[in-house]
Structures are given as structure tokens and as C-alpha cells.
Structure 1
Amino acid sequence: MVSVICTLRHHSDEVSCCAFSPSLLATCSGDKTLRVYKAQDFSELPFSPLSGHDYGVHCCCFTSCGSYLVSCSTDGSAMMWSSCTGEVAAVLQHPGRSPLRVCALTPDSSLLLAGACDGTVALWDLPSNTLRRCTAVSEASVVACCFSPCGHMFVTGCTYGDLKLWDVDVSLLHAKKDAHDLGVTCCNFAFQFKVDGCCVMFRLASCGQDSQLKIWIVSQREGAACVMKLLHTLTSQSAPVLSCAFSSDGDLVVSGSVDKSVAIYDVNLGTLLHTLRRHDRYVTAVALSPTMPWIATGSMDRTVNVWRIGDGGDGRTAPESRQTVCQGRKLPGYSRLLLADWSEGDVQTWLREEGLEELVSVFKANNIDGPELSQLNRETVAELGIESLGLRGRLLRKIKDLKAEQSGTEAPDEFLCPVSRELMKDPVIASDGYSYERESIESWIRGKNKTSPMTNLPLQTTLLTPNRSLKMAITRWKSSQ
């Protein structure tokens, strides 16, 4: 069984990454912040959110002891934060200030690797925070990277679809061309490895725009070249797979997809165990706790769901699971787009999730489903016999927030600046053909970034053209809200 234990709704833009330490959960977002929670009860720490990046944060990871949190951003920097105080311990700049899309640490946290949009990787020594080297590894953006559990090699994945294996001196050990058609999106090594005589074998998961999750066996024999052999191709998800991660014991692999689902597989058998559907938009991030039976999933819907693997004992409905390819049942509540579709059980689940457990019996006795919930007001709530004025007020506020959330009043993506992820006031068209908020793209160019924030190709000119039609569309949309 797999069940949701909480939903975190603190980010104001899409969630791009989740990461666990033994005692903490960190999330990062296009809203330029990171948030940190206790893994015991998922309460947010007092110093959270962490603000310091100038643009969206793409990736985060903890050092092995959990003392520091590392993040990387479109602003071309990697930052180290104290997990105890939230203070910035170091700011590491990519030499070319190229946007950083992904970062990874060696198991002993002695090296930090970051992949950039210009096809380079930057490698820093920690804790001296000195740049060891910055090397071109691809002609396309590096969007995936991870270290082997021994820390002696790492893998990079790019938007062209290639996977490449390197040693820590950034010498190429092996290249797998077109590992994923249309591009790699994520890769991760399992923590375990096997030693057979003089041969070492690792398991690597990769996913991509081809809607596939692949499990590879990476082996290296002393004195011989590295070999990558495909073990499983997992195809249960119907759209690009954006993220993947192994469980701490290496027996499970989890992936998140554009089809809004989370898939959990048995690595050894290559079979689907669970399909989880709780997000309203693309699932962009997955992470598994090294010490607890938790899975965290982040989405473009701006939420992070925390799931428990196993019998949570909380009575919540969970997807069916079998050791064959199967489709889990839709979970109640937020998994449904329209409030009008909610059943009485969905409403009761929503009440529990919103901390209104004392109202479950009242709603159950009055057979209140989604349509009835949407019609509740001050008078009808009072008629239900809810004596507490404060409780009635909380319920009405929760209903108001729920209806606003489901009314589709969030700004369409095309109205948001790709750099700041904020609603544009003065949209302009750059020479790359994309529209940006004038202030954001001018600041980008002034910062010596003469490449497109979207394509990383050189801007042919810094001339900006007002996008009047887009400005009018935004104005009309705002007036309709």
C-alpha cells in the first residue's frame, strides 16, 4: 500500500526538485526559493524559505551527513546552505555564468558537480570551494548528472539524448548515443553495487522525453573499458518521464511523468507495483528518504506530496498494488479537477487533509458531496449544527480557497516571464523569438549573459520589441478575474 500523508503547498511556482537527508526534506522551485521541512512531521523549519538565487532554482541535494544543502539556478550559481541555520555557507559561480540545470555530490561530499546549459560541467572541491575544472561534455544542455556510489565516476545526460560516463578527471569512459530519443531528463545510480572478482557493477536509472524509464548495468573490469548494458525498459507512463530515483535498498525505482502520474517499479523484476495519481500537472521531481518509508513528489501544480510506502494505518484510501503491470485507482480529493465530481468520501478525505476532522461525522450524517460542498455559505453551515464560530469561519475560508484553486484563475504559463516566472507587465520579444518581462531580460543582458535564457544560443541582437498583442491579452485576462 502507498498513501499520502501530507501535501505541502508553500511554493508559489512549479516545484523543480525534492531531496531528503536522514532528517530533513528540501524542495526548490521556479519561485527562486528553497523550503526545508522536518522529515519527522513535515513541519517547515523556522528559517525556511531560503532566498538567495536571482532566478528559478532547478535542483537541490544534501551532503552525506545532512549538514549542508546545495542548490543550483538559472542565475549560473550553486549555493551551499547550512541545514541548521539556513545561512549561506558558499556561493560558487559557473565560470561562464551559464544557467545551471542540475547538481550532484559525491557520496562523501568531497566534490560538487553542476551541469550547465552551455554543455559544460563544473566540478568543485569541497569544503575548499575551489573550482577543480570546467569542461565541455556535450554540444547540448546538460540536464542530468549523478555520481556512482564509489564516487570515482559520474554520468551526464543531455537534451540530445546521450548518456556519458566520466571519471572524476572528466575523461570519457563510455558513451551511449541516443539513450533516450528526444532527450534525457534525469539519471540516478542505485546506492548498492556488486563486486565480482575484479569487476564492479552498478545499477543506473535514466528517463527521458521518449516516455521511458531505463535501468542499466554499468560494469567496469580492472584494466578494461566501462560497459553499459540495458537491463529493463519500463514503459507504463504515457508521456515524457521527467524524474527518477532509487530507494535506499535499491529494490525500488520511482519516476514522475508529464502524464501527472508517479510510477513505482520493482527493479529486480522490472514490473510495475503502483501507479499514483494525486497531482494536477506534470510530476517534475521524485525523492525517497534514506531512513524512512517516505516518497516525496513535486509538480508543476506547485505542491509536494509526501507518500508512505507500506501500511500507514491512517485509514486513507491508497492505490491498489500488484506485482504485475497495473493501474492504481484514482485517489480521492485533489486528484479530481472538478469539485462537482467529488463523492461524499472525497469531501470527507478533504476535510481530514485540511485539519477539519471534527466535521467529518457532521458531513457524513448530512450526505454532503462535492456539489453540496460548493453551495455551502454562512447560513447553511450554521444549519448543520456547527456551534463553534471559529470552526465555521475556518470551513468557509477553506471552501473559498478550494473553489479559487479549482476555478482556473492562475495565470496561463504564456503570461509568465520565463526568467522571473512572474506575470508580465511589459512583455517584449527578444531575438530568440521568446517573450520576456522587459526588466528581467534587460537585467539578464546587463549581467553579461549574451545568450538566450531559453535556448542558451547567442542572441543575435540585444534589441527588444514590445509585444503589444501579448500585453493586451494579459490585460484582458486580468480584467476577467
Structure 2
Amino acid sequence: MVKLIHTFADHGDDVNCCAFSSSLLATCSLDKTVRLYSLSDFMELPYSPLKFHTYAVHCCCFSPSGHILASCSTDGTTVLWDTHNGQTLAVMEQPSGSPVRVCRFSPDSTCLASGAADGTVVLWNAQSYKLYRCGRVKDGSLVACAFSPGGNLFVTGSSCGDLTVWDDKMRCLHSEKAHDLGITCCDFSSQPVSDGEPGLEVFRLASCGQDCHIKFWIVSFTHILGLGIKYKSTLSGHCAPVLACAFSHDGKMLVSGSVDKSVIVYDTNTENILHTLAQHTRYVTTCAFAPNILLLATGSMDKTVNIWQFDPEALCQARSTEDHLRQFTEDWSEEDVSMWLCEQGLKDLVSIFKMNNIDGKELLNLTKESLADDLKIDGYSYEKEAMENWIGKKKRTSPMTNLTLPSLVLTPNRTLKMAINRWLETHQK
């Protein structure tokens, strides 16, 4: 369904970011350069690499038209480049001179946001190249930024773990702790969650962090009622900090890259894992989907950028099968769910599920959080021997949450076991 079709190995140091326009791929690196490639033949453009920055380049992004490329660096500058000839259009210096970690264009190309290590965020006028507004987060470095599809809002993420929502006048509308150990990336889906009422924008936001989690949020906004942001769910799959996440252009997939060296592609509807890609040999620092075609780029501290191609027919077939299975499971009665639990070797959970009236529809909506909060199941995985020793010492609380365990029944994590077996099969050839 997805295959590796090309690898770029031109950078001399860690790859920090990659970005697509409709016809080009841009990559940037600790080696102080930005490189541009044509998507038609994967050849590097004649005027690449782009050289101006005097220190590491942390982020790069295209304007919606693809005519301008922005890059930002430890040197405290955000540079605008003409993608037709590689010429420098503007050099915008962060007012504080602090290292710039992230930059993003607004959807209408009128503004460019840049976030720095000292917590300052600047909105630049993308036509005049002048500073428009400036703000600052309470704590930490700014390392992530994303504009809502309508451009009325943008979100920043900090190394302290805070998600902050700003309006286009640089007014702080909301801030909350999203990831305990720091945010690393965030991205809006371009597709609305629902049509909603006139004037109501409802979109899905993804964030990831050093806590190894990817979280989905629902962001709603109206000029009358203002902003609403609600946590939806957490995606599992990575066993180490997640450094990057990005939605596909149609919003149907989310990709993530991690310190565990893997790339995971999720179905955003079911939140199931579609693919786990393990080609990189060091931390995966960046990932991006192309805007119009089923191409994925992933970059790593191994100094390479991989290009992956999806098979659209296989993808449609997989989604059709999954939708059929989901529809089938949705019709299960409580007894059907009990039978399924017994078949999975989870007979000890039958009484808990029955007590909570879990039928097929409820089963499909269960998350780790609902298992822990509503069904009072711990929801974490431990080594069996360690947990047996814990219980043997008369401990009756969760090692992770310190909450009282209503049951001392240990159930095997078959999903984790399968993931470990897949990893062993891949790495022990």
C-alpha cells in the first residue's frame, strides 16, 4: 500500500524539516542549508542549496501559492526565498535576536508567523516584510505553530507543553497544558469536522510531544461565541518521544515521526494504524504530506529524506474493508461483546463490560481514557513479573496513577506483543 520510492542524502547533518509545494520539496538541516527538489523527477534544482543562514536551519515552509519559501534559523532570522530562482527576497530579524525555531504562512499568504527560543512569536506582513504584531508565551521556547484553515486562528506549542491559541490580531484566546514534557509539533487538518452552522468553524488539531503521545483536539470558533477547544483522544503506537506530526491534504491520514526511529501513518477516522515505516536509522525529526498527490516525505537525524508513495486503490480497499468491519461490530449486542472478550482471552473483563452496558457501538468508542476513567481499568502496560511483585507486596494502587486498583486481574497486552514481534521480524533478518 505504501512503498519507498526515493531517498535524498545530500545534507551533511541532521535533517530538521521538510515541506511540499504542489511541485517542489524543500528540506533544511543543521548543516545551515536549505535544499529544493523537483517532484517531477526528484532532481535537485540548479540553484540549490540555498545558503544564507550562519547557523542551523530549524524549519522551512512554502507560501500557499508555492512561489515563496520561508526558512528560520538559530541565527535569529527568518528568510524569504523566491522559489523560481532561489534569490533572497527578505531577511526578517526576530526583535529579540533569539533563535527562531518555527515559521508558518497563513492560508491567505498575508502573514508569516515565527516563533523563537525565548517564547516570542511574531506575525510578519508577508507583502511588506514588516513586523505586524508581536506576542510572548508565559514559559518555554516556541517550537510548533499551525494556522487554522480559515486563517482566523493560529496555535503555538511550547517546550513547556502549553498549547496557546491566538487570533489574527495576536490576542491570546486560550492556553493549556497539553503535553507534560513539552510539545514538539502541531498541525490542523484542512478538512472541517462537520459542516456545522453558518459562521461556525470546527476543525481537528493534532499535537505531539516528549511524553510519547499524539493527541487529537476539536477546535471550534465563531465571531459571536468565540473559541472552543476540547481534547478528543490520544493515539498510541510510538514508544519514545514523538517529534513530528502532519495531516494529509484530505485530512484522512495523520503521519508521525519519533525518537523510536519509526514513522506511523494513522487513519484519522478510526484512529487505527495503517502503516509503520522503519527505514530510518536514527530519530525521525520531520514528516510532511504533499498537497495534491499521495506522497509522504520523512526526514531524520540519519541525514536522509525518504519519499514514500501510497497506492490509492489499496488504500481505498483497506478503508472499505475497515468501514465494513466497523459497521458489522456496531451491531453487536452486549452478549456479542462478551463472547468476543472470551475469544480474546479476556474473560475476566466480561463482568466489568456488562456492568457498564458495553455493546458494539460503545465498544467502538472506547479509548484508553474511558477504560481508565469509566470502566476503572488501569490502561497501562507493565512487565508481568514486575506487576506480580508489586501486587505481591500488598500494593493495591496503580504504579502510574497511584489510584486504587478495583481489580488485581492481569490481562496480556496482545497489541504490544504483536508490535514487538513485528519489530523483531524486521530487525533480526
Q: Do the structures match in fold with TM over 0.5? A: yes
Residues 326-348 of structure 1: CA deviation (Å, up to 9, x unaligned): 7596799xx86xxxx76xxxxxx
Question: Counterpart of 2:207 in structure 1: which amino acid?
Answer: S
Cα distance 1:305–1:312, how it changes in 2: closer, same or farther (>3 A)?
farther
Is contact 1:123–1:132 with CA below 8 Å preserved after alignment? yes
How far is the alpha carbon of 1:176 from its aligned partner?
Answer: 2.0
1:221-254 CA-to-partner distances (Å, cap 9, x unmatched) read 4422312112220010000000000000001000
2:297 is matched with which residue? 296
Distance (Å, rounded) in 1 between the aligned partners of 2:172 and 2:86 = 37
User: For residues 155 and 135 of structure 1, what CA distance do their matches in structure 2 show?
Assistant: 12
1:124 aligns with 2:124: yes
For residue 121 of structure 2, give the secondary structure of its aligned residue in structure 1.
strand
Amino acid at match of 1:62: F
Any conservation in 2 of the 1:61–1:104 contact (CA below 8 Å)?
yes
- C-alpha contact (below 8 Å) 2:36/2:49 kept by paired residues: yes
Counterpart residue number, 1:151: 151
Q: Which digits, 9 at most, give the CA deviation of each residue in 1:417-476, with x for residues without a partner?
A: xxxxxxxxxxxxxxxxxxxxxxxxxxxxxxxxxxxxxxxxxxxxxxxxxxxxxxxxxxxx
Are 1:256 and 2:252 matched, yes or no? Answer: no
How far the C-alpha of 1:134 sits from its partner, in A, is 2.0
2:3 is the alignment partner of 1:7: no
Please say if residues 161 and 181 of structure 1, whose CA atoms lie closer than 8 Å, have aligned partners that are also in contact: yes
Distance in 2, Cα, partners of 1:188 & 1:249: 13
Cα offset, 1:138, TM superposition: 2.9
1:42 matched residue in structure 2: 42
Q: Is contact 2:202–2:220 with CA below 8 Å preserved after alignment? A: yes
RMSD: 2.1
Residues 4 and 311 (structure 1 numbering): CA distance in 2 closer, same or farther, change over 3 Å? farther
Percent identity (aligned): 51
Deviation at 1:135, TM superposition (A): 1.6
Aligned to 1:162: 162
1:202·1:217 contact (CA, 8 Å) conserved in 2? yes
Cα 1:102–1:331, aligned 2, differ >3 Å: closer, same or farther? farther
Query: What does residue 180 of structure 2 align with?
Result: 181
Taking the TM superposition and a 5 Å limit, the aligned residue runs for 1:311-350 are: 327=419
Equivalent residue, structure 2, for 1:428: none
Tell me which residue corresponds to 2:346: none
Distance 2:275 2:141 in 1: 32
AA in 1 matched with 2:239: S
Normalising by structure 2, we get a TM-score of: 0.73
Residue number in structure 1 paired with 2:111 = 111
* Counterpart Cα distance in 2 of 1:143 and 1:128: 25
Encode CA deviations 1:28-49: one digit per residue, 9 max, x unaligned. 0000001100112211111111
Q: Secondary structure at the match of 1:290?
A: coil
**Alpha-carbon contact 1:174-1:225 (below 8 Å) kept:** no
Distance in 2 between residues matched to 1:161 and 1:231, nearest whole Å: 17
8 Å contact kept, 1:286–1:297? yes
SS in 2 for 1:196: coil
Mapped partners of 2:313, 2:226: distance in 1? 46
2:204 maps to 1:203: yes
1:3–1:312: 8 Å Cα contact kept in structure 2? no
C-alpha deviations, 1:6-50, integer Å up to 9, x for none? Answer: 110000000000000000000000000011001122111111111
2:103 and 2:138 mapped to 1: Cα distance?
Answer: 16
SS state of the match for residue 66, structure 2? coil
Cα gap change, 1:142/1:329 in structure 2, threshold over 3 Å: closer, same or farther? Answer: same
1:394 alignment partner in structure 2? none
Contact 2:297–2:307 (Cα < 8 Å) also in 1: yes
| 8 Å Cα contact 1:163/1:175 also seen in 2 | yes
Matches within 5 A, 1:238-257: 238-257=239-258
How far, CA to CA, are the matches of 2:297 and 2:162 in structure 1? 27
User: What is the CA–CA distance in structure 2 between the aligned matches of 1:139 and 1:98, rounded to whole Å?
Assistant: 15
Which residue identity is paired with 2:309?
R
Tell me the alpha carbon deviations over residues 177-221 of structure 1, each in whole angstroms, 9 at most, x when there is no partner: 2x0110000001111224411432011110000101111110124
Q: Distance in 1 between matches of 2:312 and 2:126?
A: 40
Q: Residue in 2 aligned with 1:64?
A: 64
Answering whether residue 138 of structure 2 is matched by residue 141 of structure 1, we say no
Amino acid at match of 1:34: V
Amino acid at match of 2:291: P
Contact 1:277 1:331 in 2 (8 A): no
1:133 CA displacement: 2.0
Q: Is the 8 A contact 2:294 2:312 kept in 1?
A: no
**Partner SS for 2:109:** coil
Query: Which residue of structure 2 lines up, in the alignment, with residue 279 of structure 1?
Result: 280
For 2:286, give the aligned amino acid: A
Deviations 1:325-384 (A, max 9, x none): 77596799xx86xxxx76xxxxxxxxxxxxxxxxxxxxxxxxxxxxxxxxxxxxxxxxxx
For residues 302 and 109 of structure 1, the distance between their equivalents in structure 2, rounded to whole angstroms, comes to 31
Q: Give the alignment of 1:338-417 within 5 angstroms.
A: none
| Residue identity matched to 1:226 | L
Whole-Å separation in 1 of the counterparts to 2:254 and 2:129 = 32
CA 331–28 in structure 1, closer or farther in 2 if over 3 Å, else same:
farther
Between the two proteins, the alignment pairs up a number of residues equal to 327
Could you tell me how far apart the structure 2 residues matched to 1:331 and 1:203 are? 34
Pair 312,40 (structure 1): closer, same or farther in 2 beyond 3 Å: farther
Q: TM-score, normalised by structure 1?
A: 0.65
Q: What is the aligned partner in structure 1 of residue 342 from structure 2?
A: none
Give yes or no for contact 1:2–1:311 (8 Å, CA) kept in 2: no
